[in-house]
Structure 1
Amino acid sequence: MRWLLSSIAALSLAVPAPHAPAASAAGPQPPCRAGTAPYQRELERELRLPVDGRQSPADCAAIRRLQERLGIRPADGRATLRTYRLVVADRIRRDPAARRACPVRPYRITCVDLTRQILWSQSGRRLVFDPVPIRTGRDGLETRRGWQRIYWKHRDHYSTLYDVEMPYAQFFNGGQALHGTRKDLFSSGSGGCVNLAMNDARRLYDLLLKGDRLYLWGTKPGTGS
């Protein structure tokens, strides 16, 4: 019996305590080394950092943490236009005051903010499609403003005028439409359409109906009107 009790005691000493903290699989992050980028001041303002337009180690680390929170890849701390637009979309989603330029109606409205290059849909004050970045018409081919209405939908549209695919197309004014693109949303501009990332375009296509209202306002940066 004494032999059995001593064996049990020895075994209990060899078993790790059930609440002992596990060792972290991931080590500390490497230093953030990204330099100053074009949207430095804008992201400094968003993060309430000292606004000097120059990247510091603290700026870089704060931007990287923000990118990680929003799922932006790479999370490298660079103040790019893509990061800035996704940050703006997140702020519009969280803050009803940031949506006040879009009219509030009892029916669904798709709001297209040309200045901030963000789109969302709301019913009354309730978001029904979260804000996402978009790409609108370039200088000389600006997206038309004001109240619009979706008059035709075509899931697999192809533009013979521009020789380009327009998947999940929802036309609202002449040849201008909401549609998906595989091109970079954060460079240049469209021929007047409102471009969305493919997955966003698909979700919006599934949500909106023929006759749904859109409201477009503002001025895209770098355009004449």
Structure 2
Amino acid sequence: MVLGLTGLLVPLTAALGAAPARAASCTTSTGPYQKQVEKFLGRPVDGRQSAADCQAIRAFQAKHGITPTIGYAGPITWRTMSTMLAQRAAGNNPNAAGKCPTNKGRIACVDLTRQLSWIQDGSRLKYGPVPVRTGKNGTETRTGAKRIYWRSIDHWSTIYHVSMPYAQFFDGGQAFHSTTKSMYNPPGSGGCVNMRSADAKSYWNLLRNGDDVYVYGRKPGT
């Protein structure tokens, strides 16, 4: 089964991808990625902030938990959109570059750069690719060859005090599991590979203890 992928003017804060603290209302400021963001959202590409531009950007930011939600076309908003574009470009051939091993039989691949994961049998795509939310700067999802060593369908994290449904651990506490947050919610997880509920459930049904996991790349912003 193959599933396709179906959102100040102060120089320092702008460089960090955030606008100055202010009330949650639309900004009139033109962001450094205004044209790119306008194009992504299907807005007229003129590089000038308008009220309609701001509302469209704000809706995207609100959907994916990007703050402050004021419609500013800054680095974090554009980075999120760029990741989405890279995911769309992967289509149904996420391992075109051959970076995930094809000589392991069943294996779950995690591409941190594109924030994508999929399951393959040899070179045959079994499930995905699907968007994932991996570790943030300082708690990155560790790269390399791993194996699933423990599964807990209704896991509760005693570290973060949160539910981790369909948890499948593959590296010292790092696991695949579902979350209710957007896959694009910054800055990222505590190291786990967060997934949408339906995807985490499918991974649970397709993988077993001892199955291989391969993590590679580098998450944007880390």
Q: Which residue of 2 aligns with 1:203?
A: 202
Q: Which runs of 4+ in 1 moved over 6 A?
A: none
Task: Find the aligned partners of 1:132 and 1:39 in 2 and give their Cα distance.
Answer: 28
Deviation of 1:198 (Å): 1.1
Provide closer, same or farther for how the CA distance between residues 83 and 204 of structure 1 changes in structure 2, counting only shifts above 3 A. farther
Q: Which has the higher contact order (CA 8 A, sep 6+)?
A: 2
| Alpha-carbon distance between aligned partners in 2 of 1:152 and 1:125, rounded to the nearest angstrom | 25
Match of 2:110 in 1: 112
- TM-superposed CA distance for 1:170, in Å, is 0.2
Q: Which runs of 5+ in 2 are unaligned?
A: 1-29, 47-62, 64-72
Contact conserved, 1:37 with 1:80, CA < 8 A, in 2? no
Deviation at 1:91, TM superposition (A): 2.8
Q: Superposed, which structure 2 residues align to 1:59-208 within 5 Å?
A: 84-95=82-93, 98-186=96-184, 187-208=186-207
Measure, in 1, the Cα distance between the counterparts of 2:127 and 2:32. 30
Per the alignment, residue 63 of structure 1 pairs with: none
* TM-score of the aligned structures, taking structure 1 as reference length: 0.62
Q: Which amino acid aligns with 1:198?
A: S
8 Å contact kept, 1:38–1:81: no
Task: Tell whether the 8 Å contact from 2:148 to 2:208 is kept in structure 1 after alignment.
Answer: yes
- Which string of whole-angstrom CA distances, capped at 9 and with x for unpartnered residues, describes residues 135-167 of structure 1? 111111111110000011111000011101100
CA distance in 2, matches of 1:99, 1:124: 14
TM-score, normalising length: structure 2? 0.63
Q: Residue 94 of structure 1 aligns to a residue in which SS?
A: coil
Higher share in helix:
1
Look up the equivalent residue of 1:194 and give its one-letter code: V
Relative to structure 1, the CA distance from residue 38 to residue 167 in structure 2 (aligned partners, 3 Å threshold; closer, same or farther) is: farther
Question: Matches of 2:35 and 2:201 in 1, distance apart?
Answer: 32
SS at the partner of 1:131? strand
- Number of aligned pairs? 162
Amino-acid identity (%): 45
